[in-house]
Amino acid sequence: MRPLRLLIAGLIFAGLGLLLISGIVAAQGGDEATYIGGGECRSCHRGLSRDYAGTLHARALQDTRSDKTAILADFTAGEDVRTVLLPGEDAPRPFTAEDIAYAVGGGRYLQRYLVEAGDGRYIVLPAQWNVAAAAWEPLALAEEWPAPAYDWGANCAYCHTTALDTASYTWLEDGVQCEACHGPGSVHAALADAAGVRPRPAELAAIRSAIVNSPDPQICGQCHAVGQAPDGHPYPVGYRPGEPLDESYTISTPGDESDHWWPTGHAADVGMQFNEWFHSAHARALETARSSDYADETCLSCHSGDYRYVERVRGWFAEGSLDGDPPEALTLQTAALGVVCGTCHNPHAEGAPDFFLVEEPEALCAECHSNTGESVTHHPQLDLYQGLPLVAEVAPIPSAHFSAEDGPDCLSCHMARLPVEGGALATHSLLAILPGAPEALEAAAGCTTCHNAIGAAQLASFISDVQADFSARLEAARAALGADAPGWVEGALDAVESDGSGGLHNYSYSQALLSAAEAALGIGPQAPAAAVYEAPPNWVELPLLGMVEGLTLPGLLAGGAGTLILLVGGVILLFGRDWRQLVGILLILAAIALATAPWWALERPRQVARASGDDGYCLMCHAGERTLTLADGNTISLRVDPAAMDASVHGVESSRGRLGCLDCHSAAAFPHGPAPTSLREYRLAGVPLCAGCHQDSLGHYEEVRAKNIAVGCVDCHGAHAVAPAETLSQTPPPRPREIAPGASALEATPTSPGEPPVVRQPGG
């Protein structure tokens, strides 16, 4: 009987043990798991804990009552800002380091301080230390101090502590420690202790599943978001990692709180990275991949943050760093997350690169926003920007921004540092700040920060026109794309469309790809290739000086002979007396002037065909529809008809020779400097240009002005399709056409063949 009793007792105890273990396992994601503190975590995870201890997260709150070294502020300055009436005292005075109970923040930008208010409560002091400026500054959270807005527990404590009890506003640990992101660890620790030093695969799986190891951005969003809990707290009361954040928190979205958002859709407050990310293309990356007819598991390396995380973990198993069974690889159906915080950031260590980044920013962007090595055109932003080969039939062109020394990079426009309280933070919306943004964002605007000589309205009009033009041309090209089209044409169209910037990342390269595709499809508008006009064969090339415009062989012989005669005569007279020496010196100086400045060239530069390739570049824009609205409300068309221009008095067939775009227009700024403020200023601006060649017409112009008629040359002759004077009696001069306010300039009919319409708003 004794062996039977022992067997029964053993079965009973084994059953109880299984029940206990199963109960613990079942509780891993439930309410039974409790917070145990980071000390328990450090006993096993020494390496991670050591790296993490030095991060800003770990130092989000530092107790300074026994050790003041965490305080960064200088208390020899800012007495006026620090003067307050502290709790329990009778008279105001500057608070000191001895008054401070806690330092809030590790001090990347600011450091704030807490003072005890009695009953275990703490309040935020109304002065903060600006680390960058090395100065004290007021912290005005309310009109008076102390006020409810300065209450530490009700407003701030959750994101600077671990395991906060909102009933008493007490917490388990200072700073953002392990369980703030991985959830309460009691079950995880109990299972690890029970398994011992040699856990079986099943035990390892239970231990790992008892703690949250996830790249879920909601874990970051519990603090890096602005919103409100159902009970009114500005943080998610009761949230535990692994749970849906929206069950305990409603985050602010663009438009719902004007104080938190700029009209551009960018965050205007601190700690809003999750809010911006939530509405970004990164958050929708997995959804975007699934919506494609061509998507497969290879897309997940860029489109899914949890796929990347699981693959990294599977790699640790493969290399022997982890024991047990690796997790299953994710698929398009089982992946759950798009591009998330953990795709770019490693929260366990902070160093180089800064901001917890896993790689340098440009390298991170290039991992996915590059077509290098891809068999199809997919995300060619880097290729277009840098001018890397995309289609064999179109030569790559580096963008002017990429080629410029210290030019902009991805972050300059898509993660600009925007003004928030106490400093500036990089936006995570990925939206560029375009011209016309609120004045407070001007310093971060992606165009006007560099192109500051050009008005925001002019830049905005340029961007709108370019993107609309590219969109319309892409749509037309797709419609014309047939089965007989060369294979590279679709690749060129894919490159321009997939880039997503509407030509702004690299206008020249995008234009070249699109124009080549249009030419292959036999559709327009196609800007002519850059025209190159050879110098006349009788121009002379001189040593050191090269080709001299207008210098012909007869001119060289005549000038050379004249120079020689002057020089010989001068030398002879130089040896004479009295006035002869003076005349000799003058003749020698005249010979030198004649030899070094060939003003005696028989053909002037403006009267011959010029060697120029600029027109084709200009016509890439100006052969299409472009408009510009001036400050006075008038609109002008910027379209130039190259055929009408060539047929005009300044055209190729003209006896005066062809003029190129840059003969009259400056390209010193892009796009071409400040806009004229009025239609009249625009039309009169060309008078000095015309007068440079047409000196014989100035008398007529002054005669017209004397009659108080304020016209410019272009009022009668046109700007590009310039009519000769002898035809003006037969050809009505161009007249402004009035249109209703808000109507498009493109509706206006040209007033003369090939001439852009001039549109005048009523009263303009």
Question: Which band of pLDDT confidence, cut at 50, 70 and 90, is reported for residue 113?
Answer: very high
Structure token digits, residue 642: 């190259």
Q: What is the pLDDT of residue 524?
A: 67
Cβ(518)–Cβ(524) below 8 Å: yes
695 vs 607, which has greater pLDDT? Answer: 695
Q: What distance, in Å, lies between the first and last C-alpha atoms of the chain?
A: 115
Cα(513)–Cα(496) distance, integer angstroms: 7
pLDDT at residue 230 greater than cutoff 90: yes
Q: What is the pLDDT of residue 372?
A: 66
DSSP class of residue 91 equals S
Query: For 128-179, what is each residue's pLDDT tens digit?
Result: 999 989 999 999 999 999 999 999 999 999 999 999 999 999 999 999 999 9
pLDDT at residue 116 greater than cutoff 90: yes
pLDDT at residue 448 greater than cutoff 70: yes
Q: What's the Cα-to-Cα distance from 727 to each of 7, 683, 722, 756, rounded to whole Å?
A: 121, 21, 11, 19
Burial class (CB in 10 A: 0-12, 13-18, 19+), 635: buried
Q: What is the pLDDT of residue 759?
A: 36
Domain extents in the chain: 1-45+180-213, 59-175, 539-607, 614-760
32 vs 113, which has greater pLDDT? Answer: 113
Question: Which band of pLDDT confidence, cut at 50, 70 and 90, is reported for residue 20?
Answer: very low
Q: What is the pLDDT of residue 655?
A: 54
Cβ(215)–Cβ(342) below 8 Å: yes
pLDDT at residue 620 greater than cutoff 50: yes
Q: What is the pLDDT of residue 256?
A: 77
Cα(646)–Cα(51) distance, integer angstroms: 71
Cβ(183)–Cβ(41) below 8 Å: no
pLDDT at residue 399 greater than cutoff 70: yes
Q: What is the pLDDT of residue 740?
A: 44
Count CA atoms within 13 Å of residue 58 on its CB side: 16
Which residues, listed in sequence order, are joined to residue 251 by a DSSP beta bridge? 227
For 76-90, 193-207, 745-759, which range has the lowest pLDDT when averaged over its residues?
745-759
pLDDT at residue 99 greater than cutoff 80: yes
The three-state DSSP-derived secondary structure of 338-394 is CCCHHHHECCCCCCCCCCCECCCHHHHHHHHCCCCCCCCCCCCHHHHHHCCCCCCCC
Q: What is the pLDDT of residue 454?
A: 74
Structure token digits, residue 142: 């309310």
For 296-310, 407-421, 480-494, 681-695, which range has the lowest pLDDT when averaged over its residues?
681-695
Q: What is the pLDDT of residue 283?
A: 96
Query: For 375-392, what is each residue's pLDDT tens digit?
Result: 566 789 999 999 999 989
What is residue 244's three-state secondary structure?
Answer: coil
Phi/psi at 659 (nearest 5 deg)?
Answer: -100, 140
Cα(496)–Cα(527) distance, integer angstroms: 17
What one-character-per-residue DSSP string does 652-673 give?
TTSTT-PPPHHHHS--SSTTSS
Cα–chain center distance at 401: 12
What is residue 181's three-state secondary structure?
Answer: helix
Helix (H) or strand (E) holding 412: helix 410-414
pLDDT at residue 664 greater than cutoff 90: no
Cβ(680)–Cβ(710) below 8 Å: yes
Average pLDDT of the chain to the nearest whole number:
81
Considering only CA atoms, which of 344, 340, 345, 365 is closest in space to residue 356?
A: 345
Question: Which band of pLDDT confidence, cut at 50, 70 and 90, is reported for residue 249?
Answer: very high
Cα(458)–Cα(121) distance, integer angstroms: 56
Structure token digits, residue 685: 């601006």
Maximum Cα–Cα distance for the chain, whole Å? 154
Q: What's the Cα-to-Cα distance from 409 to each of 318, 454, 505, 608, rounded to whole Å?
A: 37, 21, 10, 43
Cα(285)–Cα(304) distance, integer angstroms: 7
Cβ(734)–Cβ(719) below 8 Å: no
Kindly report each contact of residues 93-98 with a partner whose C-beta sits within 8 Å and lies 24 or more positions away, as own/partner: 95/125, 95/127, 97/64, 97/68, 97/71, 97/73, 98/68
